Structure 1
Amino acid sequence: FILFIYTHRMLPIVAIVGRPNVGKSTLFNRLTKKRNALVDNIPGVTRDRLYATIEWDDRNLVIVDTGGFDSSDKRELLDRIKKQVEMAIEEADLVILLFDGKTGPVLADEELLTLLRYSQKKVLYAVNKIDGPEHEHLSMEFYSFGIDKVF
């Protein structure tokens, strides 16, 4: 891990964050064109940060998968996952905050959004699990957070 960061620190770092089961690992696998991140319907499968170098728009960058952030769950394991998410945000140049369009905005999304606002990092907001144009209206609910642009 340390060697990876040392050899890749000159590259921009993009962290994917969100609450459990919003599709962070699926997005990571899609962007890396590999299946390195575990994907499961059970929350807590991703615990540590997972790094990969990708090429995007003729530029190399480091993408980081994180575990699901849920501050309401006080179990020790989830507290460690939360710390890993916070470290990923701290080291990132850009953060992708991924929301679940099927469930809509929830308190955990708002808490993560607040954490990101305090971090003063550049953030892209993306709504996942909207399958087809007929469901795109579901992303509108997330503008209630005061977000300018949702992808």
Structure 2
Amino acid sequence: MPNIVAIVGRPNVGKSTLFNRITETRQAIVDEVAGVTRDRHYGKGTWNGVEFSLIDTGGYIQGSDDVFEGEIRRQVQIAIDESSALLFVVDVNEGVTDYDKEVAKIIRKSKGKKVLLVANKVDNHERAAYAADFYQLGLGEVYTVSAINGSGTGDLLDALVKILPPEEKALNDIELPRIAIVGRPNVGKSSLTNALLGEERNIVTPIAGTTRDTINSRYTKFGYDFWLIDTAGMRKKAKVH
């Protein structure tokens, strides 16, 4: 199986934009509103002949009573636990925040986990200088990138593939069957996905519209191997008078 790399960080630092940049897709929804990504979102990256699975996670917020943010924290921890390496994304425009420090603390508790600290939104030389502030997090080298235009991502990926352990040759997952679970909001699509996978893969709440992205999950039980796709609820178009 390919190595797994998780993208983590507080809300609205550009994790989904970086995910889309590395996977060369637009799988993850990107919005200026914080908290758009909720579930773990999987994609595939390739660099210099090295393949890896990439996970986009929701923004980590410690101490919130919000039902979604509590579930997001759990999803982020699961992603950290199952990954071979982490891309910890921070926002150079806002500098080091208390939330960044909380995420850094979580990462340090994951002993032996390889991590690259990524200062995003570095669109010019002046902002690159500000990235030095993030050395105080104590996570080593700071990689400056602009996920929205791609600058710096080549150097980041060079460093990433060097720290990934050798992988076993795996079946080309592009050729695997893809099965979608569809239906209107709040009928239990995510609950069914979780039941089939045997884990709390997707966030489930009684609130309609909990799932926002299309979530891809690899199913490898009982001799089967395919992609299971949990979709956002289909809504009837409103009539315009």
State whether TM-score is above 0.5.
yes
Could you tell me which residue of structure 1 aligns to residue 129 of structure 2?
137
The answer on whether the counterparts of 2:41 and 2:55 sit within 8 Å (CA) in structure 1 is yes
Could you tell me which residue of structure 1 aligns to residue 158 of structure 2?
none
1:85-124 paired onto structure 2 within 5 Å = 85-120=76-111, 121-124=113-116
Q: Percent identity?
A: 42
1:2-151 paired onto structure 2 within 5 Å = 10-120=1-111, 121-151=113-143
Shift in Å at residue 20 of structure 1?
Answer: 0.1
Larger deviation, residues 22-31 vs 128-137: 128-137
Structure 1: which 5+ runs fail to align? 1-9
Pick the structure with greater CA Rg: 2
Could you tell me which residue of structure 1 aligns to residue 208 of structure 2?
none
Structure with greater proportional helix content: 1
* AA in 2 matched with 1:51: Y
Structure with the bigger RCO (C-alpha within 8 Å, sep 6+) is: 1
Aligned with 1:20: secondary structure?
Answer: coil
TM-score for both structures, normalised by structure 2: 0.58
* AA in 2 matched with 1:135: R
Residues 73-95 of structure 1: CA distance to partner in whole angstroms, max 9, x if unpaired?
A: 22111010111101000000000
How many residue pairs were aligned?
142
CA distance in 1, matches of 2:53, 2:139: 25
CA distance in 1, matches of 2:43, 2:140: 29
Aligned with 1:62: secondary structure?
Answer: strand
- The root-mean-square deviation of aligned C-alpha atoms, in Å, is 0.9
